């Protein structure tokens, strides 16, 4: 049987073939540097309203990444992440309004409380999966507004002070304009959390999450603590959503009113962002969040148009790009690289049963078995 060449063996295990080594890493570095430069420049050029929209993209991307860690990488379906988002929002709003905390100091508290609720939901999730787990998380999204109703004054939610200089509870009130400060803070936290998620998926814990998603029984057989991985995934996912909720109070200046549809809608938005951007990817939630906010702002004021476009976009993406935007880009990149891969027609691969090209054919032995050994 013909043996694979050294280049073919390296390519099979993921090492780039000669001529392409370093192309993708350098391209990623260049794209990353350009993206970072644009992200740092944007709030200095655009007005406050546009900068606020970008900040909304960032905190929505954090919430979508949290759901992506649970659903995309761990395989647990949740349509109740709006409740974890609400825990973060109400925690920050109450601490700022009633206790005079700086908004930055409330972010870790919001993350911890949301993670604690994630643990509480994670244990019942050990006994159910699929549709039944989705229904449990849906019940959480519907129940949460009833619990928080007593903390809300009026139908608009818990309002914060308007973002005027000297009234914003911030550790750095004179550093930047309010909209720029909110933008950079949301951007920095999003980058940190996305880097943590990327490193997690490359670690042993991340591989355990993926193993539980793909083959739960096999993962348990090789020593993976399936129950611990599932509960930890719920807690981590909820913490991301809690951070996003806390940042939403910083950006939008209000915690949402206790309307069950509000948190159910939030949960669906997170799910749409994950599906459109690409589940089980790192950059997918950011792309999905950007698309979601663009549609919502573009058709703001038309109550029926934005949901209809989001629903139509979701169906189109599921049909045309089942892996989302990032998955479609990866498939296209693989096809382009495969079409550009150099082939040497002078040395075709040896076929089974034919002698190597360096040796002349030998006459068959009339006595020996003619079949190849």
Predicted pLDDT at 216? 93
The burial of 157, by beta-carbon neighbours within 10 Å (0-12 exposed, 13-18 middle, 19 or more buried), is given as: buried
* Tens of pLDDT, residues 305-337: 777 888 888 888 888 888 999 999 889 888 888
* CA dist., res. 242 & res. 84, Å (int): 5
Predicted pLDDT at 111? 98
Predicted pLDDT at 2? 45
Predicted pLDDT at 20? 43
> Which of 287, 285, 64, 42 minimizes the C-alpha distance to 183?
42
The burial of 99, by beta-carbon neighbours within 10 Å (0-12 exposed, 13-18 middle, 19 or more buried), is given as: exposed
SS (H, E, C) the chain: CCCCCHHHHHHHCCCCCCCCCCHHHHHHHHHHHHHHHHHHHHHHHCCHHHHHHHHHHHHHHHHHHHHHHHHHCCCCCCCCHHHHHHHHHHHHHHHHHHHCCCHHHHHHHHHHHHHHHHHHHHCHHHCCCCHHHHHHHHHHHHHHHHHHHHHCCCCCCEECCCCCCCCCCCCCCCCCCHHHHHHHHHHHHHHHHHHHHHHHHCCHHHHHHHHHHHCHHHHHHCCCCHHHHHHHHHHHHHHHHHHHHHHHHHHHCEECCCCHHHHHHHHHHHHHHHHHHCCCCCCHHHHHHHHHHHHHHHCCCCCCHHHHHHHHHHHHHHHHCCCHHHHHHHHHHHHHHHHHCCCCCCCCCCCCCCCCCCCCCCCCCCCCCCCCC
Backbone Cα Rg of the chain: 26
On whether the CB atoms of residues 273 and 292 are closer than 8 A, the answer is yes
Structural domains in the chain plus CATH codes: 23-337 (1.10.3470)
Predicted pLDDT at 341? 76
Predicted pLDDT at 170? 56
Non-local CB neighbours of 212 within 8 Å, separated by 6+ positions: 74, 75, 219, 224, 226, 229, 230
* CA dist., res. 296 & res. 318, Å (int): 20
Residues facing 254 on adjacent strands:
159
Predicted pLDDT at 21? 42
On whether the CB atoms of residues 266 and 279 are closer than 8 A, the answer is no
* CA dist., res. 119 & res. 115, Å (int): 6
* Positions of the chain with pLDDT under 50: 1-23, 161-169, 366-373
* Tens of pLDDT, residues 47-103: 989 999 999 999 999 999 999 999 999 999 999 999 999 999 989 988 888 888 888
On whether the CB atoms of residues 186 and 251 are closer than 8 A, the answer is yes
* CA dist., res. 183 & res. 260, Å (int): 29
Predicted pLDDT at 71? 96
* CA dist., res. 305 & res. 234, Å (int): 33
């Amino acid at each position: 049987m013909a043996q694979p060449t050294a280049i073919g063996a390296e390519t099979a295990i993921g090492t780039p073939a000669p001529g392409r080594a370093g192309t993708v890493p350098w391209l990623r570095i260049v794209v990353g540097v350009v993206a970072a430069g644009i992200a740092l420049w944007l709030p200095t050029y655009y007005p406050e309203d546009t900068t606020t929209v970008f900040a909304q993209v960032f905190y929505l991307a954090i919430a979508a990444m949290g759901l992506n860690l649970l659903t995309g990488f761990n395989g647990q379906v949740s349509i109740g992440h709006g409740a974890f988002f609400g825990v973060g929002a109400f925690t920050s709003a109450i601490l700022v309004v009633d206790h005079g905390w700086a908004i930055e100091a409330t972010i870790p508290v919001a993350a911890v409380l949301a993670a604690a609720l994630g643990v509480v939901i994670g244990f019942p999730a050990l006994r159910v999966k699929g549709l039944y787990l989705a229904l449990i998380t849906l019940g959480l999204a519907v129940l949460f507004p009833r619990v928080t109703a007593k903390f809300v004054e009026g139908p608009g939610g818990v309002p914060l002070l308007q973002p005027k200089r000297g009234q914003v509870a911030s550790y750095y009130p004179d550093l930047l304009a309010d909209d720029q400060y909110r933008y950079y803070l949301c951007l920095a936290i999003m980058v940190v959390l996305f880097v943590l998620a990327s490193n997690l998926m490359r670690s042993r814990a991340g591989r355990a999450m993926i193993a539980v998603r793909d083959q739960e029984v096999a993962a348990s057989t090789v020593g993976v603590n399936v129950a611990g991985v599932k509960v930890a995934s719920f807690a981590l996912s909820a913490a991301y959503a809690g951070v996003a909720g806390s940042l939403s109070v910083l950006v939008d200046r209000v915690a949402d009113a206790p309307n069950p549809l509000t948190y159910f809608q939030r949960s669906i938005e997170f799910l749409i962002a994950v599906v459109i951007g690409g589940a089980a990817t790192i950059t997918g939630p950011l792309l999905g969040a950007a698309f979601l906010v663009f549609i919502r702002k573009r058709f703001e004021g038309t109550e029926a148009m934005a949901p209809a476009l989001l629903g139509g976009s979701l169906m189109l993406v599921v049909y045309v790009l089942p892996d989302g935007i990032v998955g479609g880009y990866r498939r296209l990149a693989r096809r382009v690289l495969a079409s550009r891969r150099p082939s040497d027609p002078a040395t075709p691969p040896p076929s089974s049963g034919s002698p190597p090209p360096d040796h002349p054919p030998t006459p068959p032995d009339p006595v020996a078995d003619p079949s190849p050994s």
